[in-house]
Chain A
Amino acid sequence: MKSLYTELGWLPRTPEDFSAQLKAAVSAEGPLGREFQALASYALDVNQLTKLARAIAKARAEGKSLDPLTTFKLAVLSNSTIDFIVPALVATAARHGIALEVIQPSYDQVAQEALTPDSKVNSARPDAVLFALDYRALPLKLALGDAGGAEAGIAGVMGYFQALRNGIKANSNALCIFQTLAAPAETLFGSLDRALPGTLRNLIDGINRELSQFALAEGDVLLDVAGIAEAVGLANWHDPQLWNMGKFSFADEMIPLYADHVGRVVAAIRGKSKKTLILDLDNTVWGGVIGDDGLEGIKVAQGDARGEAHLAVQRLALDLRQRGVILAVSSKNTDEIARVPFEQHPEMLLRLEHIAVFQANWNDKATNIQAIAEELSLGLDAMVFLDDNPVERGLVRKLLPQVSVPELPEEPAYYARTLAAAGYFEAVAFASEDLKRAGFYQDNAKRAQLQKQVGGVDAYLASLDMTITFQPFDATGRARIVQLINKSNQFNLTTRRYTEPEVTEAENDPQVFTLQVRLADVFGDNGMISVILCRPAGTASDKTKTWEIDTWLMSCRVLGRKVEQMVLREILSRARAAGIEKLTGVYKPTDRNKLVIDHYAKLGFTKIGPEPGQDESGITRWELDVSAAEPEAAPMKVVSLGFDEVKEQTVA
């Protein structure tokens, strides 16, 4: 089953006419992002990835737009040959919605590049630096049976990583991505290598453990190369001949897989991981057809090989739900019949309470998936659709290319593994809100029902018994703030993405006004639902009198609750306290944020036109006189915390 991984078995096979398709795509008019993304979504090999990367580079050089791909600048620091890898990274990133620019310094210049302030990498100001280091080029000495020596060896390597990180942080403040080390397949003693201090395997185990903790503790990102290599087998991963010939740190066959993992992580940093898993039912969630086979006939029991395969799909779906992935159902069935196994089958793990949207009807699946996306207020590109039927998969891919649709093998026992191998739900951090997210969306369904019962919106809002809490950014909220900044697409006025170091910088900058907003109601705590960041703006003379709203975003879970009004009231009161006279705001359109096109108009801002730079494709600019504005209060309790502490300032 190594081929599932090396050949990216969840992606459709590359068509024979791939080169012709690529030629046709680059000659198309207008932005090329969607074309490149579609071509990248086949299971491309190294040569095909290289071709695609060349086409992307050419389009970029000709000044063609790669919209709607999100740009990301990645520096790769390596002590091995990465010339085959870099084009694969660029092409694969398009698969994940990223227009990747790679900064590749000369071979084996890792420390020099990290530590020199004006090095190629540091002066390029990358968004992130990937340390693609191989164990063979690290200062690792065997210390057989010598626990102290082994510990010192591990500490030495960790010190090296720490120094690299410090260099990057001081010189370009980029996010750091560290790779765990893939151990060699060879052992010295045999099984004892794992246990005996100071063997290579033992040292690498120690480094991987410490490096993982180090990366997470510092807010950096981990790429678990050791885990990828283990999944395909260490003997397949490493190719001694290629290492000897050209210092290639792993087999060329593994490049598409490695590049896909880098793409997932970069996409996750940019908040582009998938959020929802849509499940087909017959022959996906259970074996057989409920409408034909009935409750007793479907295979979904322990002790039955077929049934266990489908239970594994259910188990994976439930585990994903627990970490915050929303589950939905799209099935061609009569609704009442499709619900029966969820309600009555004793061995089903999935229950109706786990499913946020249940669509069982005779519409085509593309229509159903669109309905699911609408009901959840999420974009189609946040959806994964799992279906055993190749016809349904093909239809959804054709009609809704933004939806991710994994290929599945014939054998249901491999369904769960294939879904997991595709890595749709990659995360670079885990916030406690994630645990509750799937529940939030279901609570929303309940709230909608309550709304129907109570009638008027205001009465409904009052009946929710809401408490809104305002705080400046702080360390506790940071992970969630970064997540919201990078994930929110719809209610997001400027869609500016910031990394954790950038958020920390704003948090500590006394000139910057920051706000994290939480909302609780009768159904429970919604957690953090809005983030605002204002920076001083205007001419030199009145710089201290104006705040420009750099970022204003909100989770769509709390749409229609008048949270925006309350947030503006809070900003105004803080602005007055800081002697600010004017608020300015910008709406920057994307293909996802039409929802907030009238945001500032609704809040009483005055349009001051598209200047400067004139009509830049739909950008609008707004301002509000702080002293005169008085937005109406909404029925909720307000709590403000932590504003009286003065931010630490260095006095010049």
Chain B
Amino acid sequence: MDEAQLYSRLTEVFHDVFDDDTIQVTPQLSAKDVDGWDSLTHIRLLLTIERAFKIKFSTSEIGKLETVGDLVKLVQSKIS
């Protein structure tokens, strides 16, 4: 999966989790930019990504994520 495909799949996940089809998923995007991205929704987002990409995050990995860019790097390291 190349980066464009990954972003496209992530965009679907974001739209699904936040119930908002207008979210633009960019590397700079972070929790403060999205309505309703609180700590609980963060967990729901990551659980959905785990299922979508058939991967598993560790608790410490989840804690370190700041931006979508970080997230994409992490997902890439797990699916490659």
Contacts and interface: CB of A to CB of B under 8 A. Distances in A.
By secondary structure, the A interface counts as: helix
Contacts of B62: 245
Contact of B43 (A19, A48, A50, A245): A245
Given A241-B59, A245-B59, A245-B62, A84 B19 contact: no
Contacts of A591: none
A434 interface: no
A19 B16 CA distance: 9
B53 to A, nearest CB: 15
A87 to B, nearest CB: 10
Contact of B40 (A19, A51, A246, A253): A246
Contacts of B6: none
B47 interface: yes
A201 to B, nearest CB: 27
Contacts of B43: 242, 245-246
Nearest to A23: B21
A244 B59 contact: yes
A73 B3 CA distance: 47
A110 to B, nearest CB: 20
B36 to A, nearest CB: 10
B11 interface: no
A13 interface: no
A252 B47 CA distance: 8
Interface in A229-249: 241-242, 244-246
Contacts of B39: 246
B17 A47 contact: yes
B73 interface: no
A46 interface: yes
B44 A54 contact: no
Contacts, number: 31
Interface string B1-38: 00000000000000011010100000000000000000
Contacts of A246: 39-40, 43
A51 B21 CA distance: 12
A84 B48 contact: no
A178 B53 CA distance: 37
Given A84-B44, A246-B43, A47 B16 contact: yes
Interface string B47-80: 1100100000001001000000000000000000
A304 interface: no
A54 B19 contact: yes
A19 B17 CA distance: 12
B62 to A, nearest CB: 7
Contacts of A242: 43
A114 to B, nearest CB: 25
A247 to B, nearest CB: 11
A246 B43 CA distance: 9
Interface of B: 16-17, 19, 21, 39-40, 43-44, 47-48, 51, 59, 62
Given A46-B47, A246-B39, A246-B40, 11 more contacts: A19-B16, A47-B16, A47-B44, A47-B48, A48-B16, A50-B19, A50-B44, A54-B19, A241-B59, A244-B59, A245-B62
